[in-house]
Each structure stands twice: as C-alpha cells, then as structure tokens.
Chain A
Amino acid sequence: MSASELAGKFVEKALEKGFSDAAISIDIVERVMVKFANTQPSVVQEWKTAVANIYLSKGRRVFTGTFQLDKIGDADKLLGEVGLLIDRLSESELYAPLPEPGVRSGFYSRVDDKIVEAMKDPSELVELVLEASSREHNIDFTAGKIDLWKRMRHLATSTGAQLVEESTGVETYMRSFKEDGSGQWGFASRILDKRGIEEVALKASELAYESRGRSSVEPGVYDVILSPLVFSQLMNVIAWMSTGLSVLTGMSIFIDKKIGDQVASPLLSIYDAPRDDKLPFSTVFDDEAVATFDKPIVEKGLLKNILHNTKTALKFNTKSTGNAGWVHPRPWNLVIEGGGFKLEELISEVKRGLLITNNWYTRLQNYAEGVFSTIGRDAIFLIESGRIVKPVERLRIADKLPRLLSNIEGLSRETYDVMWWEVRVPTRSPYALIRNINITKHFA
C-alpha cells in the first residue's frame, strides 16, 4: 500500500470508529549531513525515516500522535487504543473542527535533482567548502555543516483532503577561526545553489580574518548594526511570539496587542512566506489542508497578523492564516523587507556603534515585556564617525524587544537567505541599524 493510500485508509477507519475529526501526515525523509570540525569531517550522518503524525478528536477532545508506519498499518488497534484514551480526557479549550480544505488534492513538487544527486555523494560539496574556507585567507581551522534533504509529505484529512508534497533543501553554515578572530555565516535554499554555499565559507573566513586583534570596549548605550544572522535570529523569536498559541500561553510581547497596533519602526515589515520557493520550508498547504499564503506579521511597523491554525483562530474570533500545526501554529519562512541602504551607508550613519555579525543564546526575563539578552559571538566591530575602526571582544545585547523593534532606523537593500543552528526558521534578512541599544559585559 502506498503512503497516500495508507493515509487515506487511516482517516476512513478513524471516522468509522466514531472520531469526529481525523488527519494524518506521513513524512518520508531522506537526509544526509556532513558535520565539520578542525577543517575535516567530524561525522557524516544519514537518515531514512518514515513517520506518521496523526490528529484525532472526538467530543471536542484532542489527541495528536507520532508513530512508525507499521502502527498506522494496524489502524484498528491504534484507533482502539486512542479511543479508550480520548474518552477519558476532558474537552480541549482550543477545540475547533477541522476546516474545509483550501487545497483538496494534488501532487506538489519542489525537488531539485541536484540535491538528490549530492545526497548520494556529498564529497564534491565538502571539497568546495573546505577549499573556499582557505581560498582567500590562511585561516587556522574551520567548522560547520552541509545538510541535504528530500522530504515527501502525504496529508489526508477527514474533510476530504488528499495531498502530496515533495521537496528538497540544503542548509550550510561555516565558522572559521584565525588567531583570536572568528567568523560565521549561514545559508539555506530549496535548490543546490553552489555559489550560495561557497559564499558561506568565504564570508566566514573573511570575518575571522578581519576580526583578529580584538580589544575590549566599555558597556553602555550604542547604535548597533545587526548582520542578517543576528537580525534573523531575533526576528525568529518575534515570529514565534506572533503565533496564536504563544500569545495564549503568555510567551509573547503581543499578549496585549491588537491588530493594527504600532509595534515597531515604520521601516520594519516581516512576512511569513510559505510561498517563497527559494526558502526551504515553503509549502502549499498546512497540516489542516488550508492553503498557505504569504502574509505580513508586521508591516510598516504595524502588527498585521497573528499566525493561526483553526483552533487559535477560533479563540481570537478570526480565520486560520494557513499556519497549522494542529495544535501549535508555526511560521514557515520569514522574509524581512530590505531598505534603501548599502551596508557601507548604514555604517556611515553611525557616530559610535557596533557591527555585530553573529549572536547566540537569546533568553528572556519575561516574554510579555520582551526583556531579553543575547550574546554577540564571532566578529564584532567598533564603528566611530561612520567608519569601522577595530574588532572588539564579545558583548551582550541586553534590552527590551519592543524598544529594539521601535529603534530600527535603517535596513540594507541587499538581503540574505539565512539559516543556522540558532536560526531554525529560514529567513531572508537585511542588515539592520538600530539606535540606542543597551550593551553589557561582565563586571568581573
């Protein structure tokens, strides 16, 4: 039985057994990842998995599950077990019936055969990044990964959807080291863009080279220019805060905001972009078979959309935005609109500030007020009188997200498709100039 047939049969049987809603997404994934350390592969990992994610409800009670396919094959047994469980649950306060599908049937393909080919033997890509890492600068060592995947997703719902989507993707990031300097860059795409992959290695090594000889700088209030890696990471936080469930569970700065409220500088527009096929998490339909569409989360500084599935949408008295997750809505890809500046022009706007090229470990004191800090890592440069003057040691941004969003004063024209360990939603991002940001470092 094909995966689609298996999915269809499962939904049929679920309805026969008295479940009011049923959906199943069978994900068949092939994935190859080469991880690098000390300028050589540290491990090559391969996965071949087939997993079924199921959604069942009955009497407004909600169950989700993740199982192997053989468990789905014995649907009577599984549905019997879930039936016994679900009868003992209480009603879900978020229950909503599955919606009429926006996309009812079809086979959607976003496959790049070159990625499939590279998965068989990634050594050419390995050679490319290792060579490019030391092409222009004699670095000490480099690390990173090349991650290639092909995914086949079969979705069937009790509302009549029977859909298949196949897709490929690549994510690469590299971090290079030279003396006390280091630099990191990342990239992701639906297709095997060798130029994009190569540039990751070149850029990481250039930043490592340029950030040698770091000196300390005093904490205080600075204008900062955040690289696409840093800005993407913070906008990932914002995007997750913009999901309906995050708002409902107190994990959001939008907890008391209304659609149309000013939440950022008029320069900022962030879009959830499931139909942008250059970014690797694009999709035609969500887990409820609602047709996805690109939409602003924030547009010209105004809150435009909370991201919803049907459940959270009902709670907010609105419609799904095509972002299901059966329980937790999610952003697909993010696109942050670029501005009118070249990077050099952004730098020239800064009297005394910092160019921060990478960060990690963003944590919040409280989500409702957006009190947070994050640590700069890799290359950070001091800017004085519109010019980069020297690399500096690690610093921490410690401020409030609403203030950071409001103080955006310039965005670069050029944008970059970014993904790495700390940026898990693929994001197209410019450089961002933000005024008056609190910078801290350890006291002792």
Chain B
Amino acid sequence: MEDLLEKAIAEASSKGAKYVEARYHRNTYFTLRARNGNLIDSAEEIAEGISVRVLVDGALGFASTNRLDSESVLETARRAVETARSLSRFMKKPLELGPGRVGHVSYSVSVKKSFDSVPIDEKISLFNELWRRSREAVKEASVKVMFNEYEESAEEKIIMTSEGAYVRSFIPRVYLGYNMVIAHPQKGVVQRWQEHGGSGGYELVESWRLPDVVSSEAGVLERALLEGKTPPSDPLDVIVGSEIVGLIAHESAGHPSEADRILGREAAQAGLSFIKKGMKGFRIGNENATVVDDPTIPGSYGFFLYDDEGVAARPKYLYREGVVYEHLHNRFTAAEYNTESNGSARAMNYASEPIVRMSNTYVTPGDYSLEELIEDVKLGVYIKSYMEWNIDDERWSQRYVGLEAYLIENGEIKGFVRNPVLEITTKAFYSSIVAKSRDLRFYTGTCGKGEPSQGVPVWFGGPDVKLSKVKLGLAPG
C-alpha cells in the first residue's frame, strides 16, 4: 500500500502541488441491532480507500477513491491538483501550511479479548438480558420499548506526506448504545438514550456491566417519572453530574477552541466561536475552570497518538484555571496563528478530509466526594443525567434538560425533580463552579462536524461540580 501512496505523492508533486498528503484508510464495522431483546439485523461494512489532499497555488484540493489500482490512485492525485488549481484564482488569502512534528511510526491498540473469541450468540443474548433486566426493575410503569445497537469496529490507516511523514496505525473499538422508553398511563414517558464505547476488545463490554447498569437505571427512572416534582424556581445551588459536565466540556470548551471554527472555516455549517483570534488569555471562568483535550488516554473512544496529517498528538489545556489557554490546531490553522500544530486533525474515513477535531475532552477533577458537595447545600438540585441538550452556533448559550435529578434539602437528597433545565452561558457556567468532586468519569459520543458531515468517536468527561446560585427552568409539559 505504501508504494501506492508514494506514487500518489509523486504524481501530485509533479503536477505542481506544494504539499501532498496521501492516506490509506480502512474502516470495518460489524453491527447488531435489537428491539425488545430480539435481533433485528446484522450488518457489516468495509470502507476502504485512498485520499489525496494537496496545496496548490494557495488552494486546497481533496480527492478520494475506493478503487485501489495504481491508475485510479494516480487519477485521484491529478484530480485533487487540477480542481485546486482551477479555484486558486479565487483565493484572496492563499492558504499556508504551518509546522507540525510529523512522525515516522507505527502503533496499534492491543485487545485483551478479541471480538472473534466471543460467540455471536453470547453477544445477541446480551440484548435479551438487558431487556429482561429493565422490565424486571420497573414495577408500576412499563418499559415500552428497548432498542440496542452493538458495534465492533477497526480503523487502519497509513498516512504519508510529501514532507516525509509516515504513520501507520490500527485501532479497534467497541460500542453499545441503548434507547429505553418507560411509560405510565397517567404520568407520561421518560426516555434514556445512553452509549458506551472505547478502544480495545470485548473486554470493554464486560467491564461496563450493562445488565446491572440498565437494571438500576430503569428502576430509578421509573421513580423519577412517578415521583418527580417541579424544581424550585429561585436561584439555588446545583450539583451538575459528571455526565453533563463532560458534555458541557465538549460543547462549550472543546468546540469553541477549534481553531478552524474560530477562523470561520465552519461558518456555514456548525458555526463560529465566541472565541476570536487574539483572545488567548481571555477569562472565561474561575480557577476551577480547567478543561483538557487528550487523545492519548489509553482505552478511550477518541484515542490516537498521531493525527491524520501525521503530527504527534498530545494533551492540550483548552481552558486553564479560568482562562482560554490553547486552541485545537491542524497545520493550516497553525500557520494562521504562527504556531505549530498540536495534532488535532482527524478524518472519519478515506472519503473525508482531515479537519480540526476533539478527542477526549474533560473538566479536570477536584478534591471532594459527591457526598461532600451535597452536604452543605441548604436547598439545591442534583442533576445526574440528561437527554435534551443544545448550544448556539457560537458556543455561548446552552441548555441541558435533566433526566435523573434530585431535590437537595439541608444536605440530603429528598426525592426526584422532573425535567429541570440548566440554560446558561459558557461564561456563567465556568464562573459558577465552586467545587468539584474527585471522580473523573468519561462518557461516549460521536461528534459531528464538517461538510460532508463527519462523525468521529470521542469521550467527554469530568467530575460532579457544584454551581452556586443558579436559576433552573422547567421543560414544557
């Protein structure tokens, strides 16, 4: 395969490309889907091909093919150059490539329990167990529907550039998502969509202990449905659970720190950023507001050691003790910032251009236990999980609607509250954190960005955090 990539680089260079990046990219997926414990279907996908990205006269061209013969790959290289050149006359500000520490390396993620070593009927029987355990846990209401999706995948890449990068990688991943609808004739419906994922083998599925998790969640959510009361309307202390804190880190620290977004490259799609060029050092919160993006966390869903421009990846402080600290860069945004890439370029598959992406983004933990966060709250709400959320296209105004949520009175949990709404600006959130638990937990997601839209695996995480004097809303009934 390397010889094909070398030919592509040579061909594009000979046609006048100043920079060429050729990538062989093979994604395989095996999926099982089930409804109410019964299998719906099995699916297999192999997406394998080569892409060539070139910088020609200040314009960027990208072409890809899934025909892996020499002539198709050479034609792909030529097309990338020709289209970039034809549009270069529109470039008022030609693109430039910044520095990046490119690698010459191979790496892979090892698997403790291979997917093939687990009989398929064992995987299918998990669906039935989840369905059975959820129904057993719900007494007065009923589990109306459960939908499951299980996916094992592997991503193999070879990245070569005209500047000598060579990165070969192999990353297996596994994912399981479920949708659970619990209904009661008078009280209505509560719904939980939850995902688990990581890089590794089937040992991860076993470590998630999903039957116990689902059983516990089903029972608790039934009670939230039956017993949940309207949250207080006056400002109060709010304990935001790590699941939501992680999402907030992703949405209101990770996305606005993407340098391509700041520079306007995603303006017509996912939008801009409240962070503008030159705002490094801007105070966004108090000393508790530290957010990190780290692709090197072993076992994580967003794991990689080199990005798709062949640049070494590393942890980045996006916000550090309350100030905007470092953005996520690829080599093109690094040039605009007169800095070097920090290895944040990712492509979903062979047909996708590498763009600036997050990996595993989290709020750093503190020193308290959850119980200690709660014990001095006179009147407050603890929001442990969510379903609905969104954030505006500059990543400033955001909304999270609680699913499992509790009233706190005089330091004790006093029953459920239903659908509390945390609707808050980025600055208000990061300025209101008065304490953080020491428990750093991660959650799984697929982050969407780009055109065509690319979904890439990520983790987001954080501790439980306490916000002081925050007003909550109520979702429409």
Contact = CB atoms under 8 A, between A and B. Distances in A.
B348 interface: no
Given A64-B42, A88-B120, A366-B190, 9 more contacts: A37-B263, A66-B47, A68-B67, A82-B44, A249-B145, A250-B145, A363-B388, A368-B191, A394-B397
B388 A365 contact: yes
B49 A90 contact: no
A389 interface: no
A419 interface: no
A44 B93 CA distance: 16
Contacts of B452: 33
B351 A49 contact: yes
Contact of A327 (B38, B40, B91): B40
Interface in A65-115: 65-68, 71, 82, 85-86, 88-94
Residue picked from A42, A48, A49, most chain B C-beta under 10 Å: A42
B124 A364 contact: no
Interface string A266-296: 0000000000000000000000000000000
B229 interface: no
Residue picked from B35, B270, B451, most chain A C-beta under 10 Å: B451
Given A63-B44, A421-B268, A443-B473, A45 B124 contact: no
A123 B83 CA distance: 9
Nearest to B145: A250
Contacts of A63: 41-44
A368 B147 CA distance: 14
B213 interface: no
Given A43-B60, A444-B471, A86 B42 contact: yes
Interface residues of B, number: 91
B4 interface: no
Interface stretch (A137-145, A257-265, A297-305, A410-418): A137-145
B45 A44 contact: no
A41 B87 contact: yes
Contacts of A45: 61-63, 353
Contacts of A254: none
B471 A37 contact: no
Given A86-B42, A398-B476, A440-B473, A377 B66 contact: no
B391 A367 contact: no
B105 interface: no
A122 to B, nearest CB: 8
Contact of A143 (B179, B264, B401, B453): B264
B98 to A, nearest CB: 16
B267 interface: yes
B337 interface: no
A362 to B, nearest CB: 7
A184 interface: yes
Contact of A43 (B46, B144, B353): B353
B351 A364 contact: no
Nearest to A54: B44
Nearest to A85: B42
Given A36-B268, A394-B397, A366 B191 contact: yes
Contacts, number: 273
B391 A88 contact: no
B79 interface: yes
Interface in B380-438: 387-393, 397-399, 401, 403, 419, 421, 423-425, 428, 432
Contacts of B451: 33, 35, 145, 421
Nearest to A144: B268
B59 interface: yes
Given A41-B87, A65-B43, A375 B391 contact: yes
B62 A49 contact: no
A45 B38 CA distance: 42
Nearest to A367: B191
A371 interface: yes
B387 A375 contact: no
Interface stretch (A171-179, A340-348, A426-434): A171-179
Interface in B337-368: 351, 353
Nearest to B251: A361
18 contacts: A44-B62, A46-B79, A47-B65, A48-B65, A48-B79, A49-B351, A90-B39, A93-B35, A126-B90, A144-B268, A250-B146, A250-B181, A360-B271, A362-B390, A373-B401, A440-B473, A442-B424, A443-B472
Interface string A121-155: 11100110010000000000101110000000000
B417 to A, nearest CB: 14
Nearest to B60: A43
B91 A366 contact: no
Contacts of B216: none
Contact of A88 (B121, B147, B423): B121
A363 B179 contact: no
A165 B368 CA distance: 63
Nearest to B76: A48
A39 interface: yes
A234 B93 CA distance: 38
Contact of A62 (B40, B64, B472): B40
Given A249-B145, A442-B424, A71 B46 contact: yes
